[in-house]
């Protein structure tokens, strides 16, 4: 048990981390692993982090673990209270809902810009990443799929060639990454999300890309609907 949560038991931990992390115990490596565990829901929102268990899990001392936790505290992924310790930061549902509202418009705007400005090089890069993501889906590799999913979204935004849009989008995505992961934890939504990505790719590759803005907006709206539904059904404290 890596965290203590009064309302919901912690999920079973993944396989032991890589030998590289166990050998050098660098706090940056530990922070990367903890960040992924939080974003993928393995360390539940609001749950208390049990340092002893994590030290045993990573086979490290408390020093690199606490340095890693300080990094995550700066990022807002964990909170710390004296004499109580660290907890995984709770998800603010109202904030997530507000971010999604803004995101829908950004996706639609990005679709319009992307349709006009995407280069052949960017298109081929997105397609390669998309095919790798599809392979992860077929192999049931959810974490790897979700990582590529995030990269593809940012690649499409960047290919729209609007630096202001790219900057705003990247900032918003850090706020909702965990929420989107909760939605994709549902197998039905995972398949639906892949189908939507396939439709977006088809529109991006078509001679007439007029459907692209609406498809990107609808994908964002569907993700938001499922994310909010899953968050409201999940105890956060």
pLDDT tens by residue, 114-163: 999 999 999 999 999 999 999 999 999 887 898 899 899 999 999 999 99
Cα separation, 111 vs 117, in Å, equals 10
Q: Is residue 139, in this structure, part of any structural domain at all?
A: yes
Identify whether residues 83 and 164 lie together within a single domain.
no
Query: What is the mean predicted confidence (pLDDT) over 30-36?
Result: 89
Domain end (from 54, 88, 122):
88
Q: pTM above the 0.75 mark? A: no
Q: How many domains does the chain have?
A: 2
Q: Is residue 211, in this structure, part of any structural domain at all?
A: yes
Domain end (from 88, 113, 129):
88
Identify whether residues 99 and 189 lie together within a single domain.
yes
Query: What is the mean predicted confidence (pLDDT) over 82-101?
Result: 91
Identify whether residues 31 and 83 lie together within a single domain.
yes
- Ramachandran bin of 70, using left for φ above 0, alpha for ψ from -120 to 50, beta for the remaining angles: alpha
Average pLDDT, the chain: 86
Kindly indicate the confidence band of residue 235, based on its pLDDT and cuts at 50, 70 and 90. low
DSSP code at position 17 = P
Identify whether residues 219 and 110 lie together within a single domain.
yes
Identify whether residues 125 and 221 lie together within a single domain.
yes
Q: Is residue 150, in this structure, part of any structural domain at all?
A: yes
Domain end (from 88, 112, 133):
88
Task: Judge whether 89 and 78 are in contact, CB under 8 Å.
Answer: yes
Give per-residue pLDDT as tens, 35-84.
888 877 788 888 899 999 999 999 999 999 999 999 999 888 899 998 88
Q: Is residue 237, in this structure, part of any structural domain at all?
A: no
Helices (H) and strands (E) in the chain, counts: 10, 4
DSSP code at position 91 = P
**To the nearest 5 percent, what fractions of the chain are helix, strand and coil?**
70, 5, 25
Identify whether residues 68 and 108 lie together within a single domain.
no
Give per-residue pLDDT as tens, 208-233.
999 999 999 999 999 999 888 888 87
- Among 81, 13, 73, 76, smallest CA distance to 43 is for 13
Identify whether residues 82 and 165 lie together within a single domain.
no
What is the residue range of 179's domain?
93-232
Strand 3-4: give its sheet, edge to edge.
Answer: 3-4, 48-49, 85-88, 78-81
What's the pLDDT at 7? 39
Cα separation, 32 vs 62, in Å, equals 16
Identify whether residues 62 and 133 lie together within a single domain.
no
Identify whether residues 82 and 117 lie together within a single domain.
no
User: What distance lies between CA 193 and its chain's CA centroid?
Assistant: 14
Domain with residue 213: its CATH number is 1.20.120.530
Question: What tokens appear for 236 in the block?
Answer: 């956060």
């Amino acid at each position: 048990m890596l965290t203590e949560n009064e309302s919901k038991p912690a999920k079973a931990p993944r396989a032991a981390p890589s030998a590289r992390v166990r050998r050098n115990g660098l706090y940056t490596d530990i922070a990367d692993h903890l960040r992924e565990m939080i974003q993928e829901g393995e360390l539940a929102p609001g749950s208390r982090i049990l340092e002893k268990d994590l030290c045993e899990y990573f086979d490290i001392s408390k020093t690199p673990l606490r340095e890693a936790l300080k990094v995550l505290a700066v990022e807002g992924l964990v909170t710390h209270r004296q004499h109580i310790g660290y907890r995984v930061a709770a998800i603010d549902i109202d904030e997530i809902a507000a971010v999604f509202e803004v995101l829908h418009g950004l996706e639609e705007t990005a679709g319009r810009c992307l349709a006009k400005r995407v280069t052949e090089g960017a298109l081929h890069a997105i397609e390669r990443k998309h095919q790798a993501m599809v392979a992860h889906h077929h192999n049931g590799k959810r974490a790897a799929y979700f990582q590529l999913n995030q990269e593809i979204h940012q690649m499409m935004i960047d290919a729209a060639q609007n630096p202001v849009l790219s900057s705003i989008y990247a900032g918003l995505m850090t706020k909702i990454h965990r929420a989107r992961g909760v939605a994709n934890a549902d197998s039905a939504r995972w398949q639906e999300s892949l189908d939507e990505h396939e439709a977006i790719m088809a529109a991006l590759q078509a001679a007439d890309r007029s459907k692209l803005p609406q498809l990107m907006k609808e994908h964002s709206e569907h993700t938001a609907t499922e994310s909010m539904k899953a968050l409201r059904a999940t105890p956060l404290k």
